[in-house]
Amino acid sequence: MKQKFKQKRRAGFAIIGLGRFGLALAKTLAESGAQVMVIDSDENKLRQVRAYAQDAFRLGKLTKEALEDTGIAECDTAIVCIGERIDVSLLTTLNVLNLGVPRVIAKADSIEHGIILERIGAEVVRPELETATRLAAVLLGSAALDMMRLNDDYVISEIKVSPQICGKALEELCLEKYNLHLIALEKEPDKLLPQASPEEILEEHDAIVVLGKFSDADRFERNVMQSIKNKEAQPTK
């Protein structure tokens, strides 16, 4: 029986292919509050993401018609995480591009594969150079200067101090509220303070290096500026 999918849905990201890279990317994006659609032919893999993906579709063949039926054209960004089968990767990427998805990113397993993907109009990510966490940070507009994935959940993130918090003390960031641990304060590219004082004043070109879950680091970036503004706006007693 042919599957019937709802039309005209809206999802931020569509991920096609749930290998290790696709699964990690879907989980990271979803945990950060993004709208995620996933597509794969393996029901067991889909079952792993149904708890946090807004839409999960099992497609045996990634034809243009089948992809269109999922509503993928309504997504802002599609990531094709199929690397091992170059022919399927290229055809799927071309189909998604032809459906009008504004931004299409594709995983490449070789230099040659990446060159072809770029020539047909896709952005390319190479797992040997990028991690799913790093890509998710870019897609979510993270302020992180660099990010290292430790396992499925934890990252070490270097976050640039924004103008809004210049002149504030480290303790005013309330890192513990976000379950983040300060590893170091970077005053210059080659000057780290591993045991920075809570009273240390943040300056324009500083960066903080923190350890924690990616979702908590992302939540900190999104909320801390507003939290500080709200605190300043409160009337004094």
Task: Give the pLDDT confidence score for residue 229 in this predicted structure.
Answer: 45
Any domain includes 154: yes
Indicate the average pLDDT of the chain: 80
Same structural domain, 89 and 19:
yes
Q: Which of 28-37, 93-102, 106-115, 221-230 has the highest mean pLDDT?
A: 93-102
Clarify whether residues 187 and 89 are in a common domain: no
Question: pLDDT band at residue 130, thresholds of 50, 70 and 90?
Answer: low
Look at residue 2 in the predicted model and tell me its pLDDT: 43
- CA-based torsion, 189, 190, 194, 200: positive or negative: negative
DSSP 102: S
Q: 4 lies in a domain?
A: no
Co-location of 27 and 98 in the same domain: yes
- Give the model's pLDDT for residue 1: 38
Examine residue 197 and state whether it is found in any structural domain, yes or no.
yes
**Same domain (yes/no): 26, 94:** yes
**Residue 237 banded pLDDT, cuts 50, 70, 90:** very low
Question: Does the residue 5 lie in any domain?
Answer: no
Give the number of other CB atoms < 10 A from CB of residue 123. Answer: 13
* CATH code: domain of residue 199: 3.30.70.1450
Domain boundary among 111, 134, 157: 134
The CATH number linked to 53 is 3.40.50.720
pLDDT of residue 157: 78
Same domain? For 31 and 103 the reply is yes
160 and 93, same structural domain? no
Which residue has better confidence, 82 or 150?
82
Token code pair at residue 22: 């696709």
Indicate whether 209 and 117 sit together in one domain: no
> How high is the pLDDT of residue 8?
46
Please tell me the predicted confidence (pLDDT) of residue 212.
83
Query: Helix (H, G, I), strand (E, B), or coil: what is residue 28?
Result: helix
Final residue belonging to a domain, choices 113, 134, 155? 134
Find where tokens 């990634």 sit: 62
If one counts the domains in the chain, the total is 2
Percent of the chain with pLDDT over 70: 77
Same domain, 72 and 149: no
The Cα 202–Cα 187 span in angstroms is 9
Domain final residue pick, 134, 160, 179:
134
pLDDT value at position 63?
Answer: 94
Report residue 80's pLDDT band, with 50, 70 and 90 as the boundaries.
very high
Q: Radius of gyration of the chain from Cα atoms?
A: 20
Q: Are residues 55 and 80 in the same domain?
A: yes
Query: How far apart are the two ends of the chain, measured CA to CA in Å?
Result: 68
Residues 217 and 113 in one domain: no
Pair (209, 170) in one structural domain: yes
pLDDT at 137 over 70: no
Same domain, yes or no, for 197 and 173? yes
Enclosing domain of residue 158: 142-233
- What pLDDT, on the 0 to 100 scale, is given for residue 147? 58
pLDDT of residue 135: 63
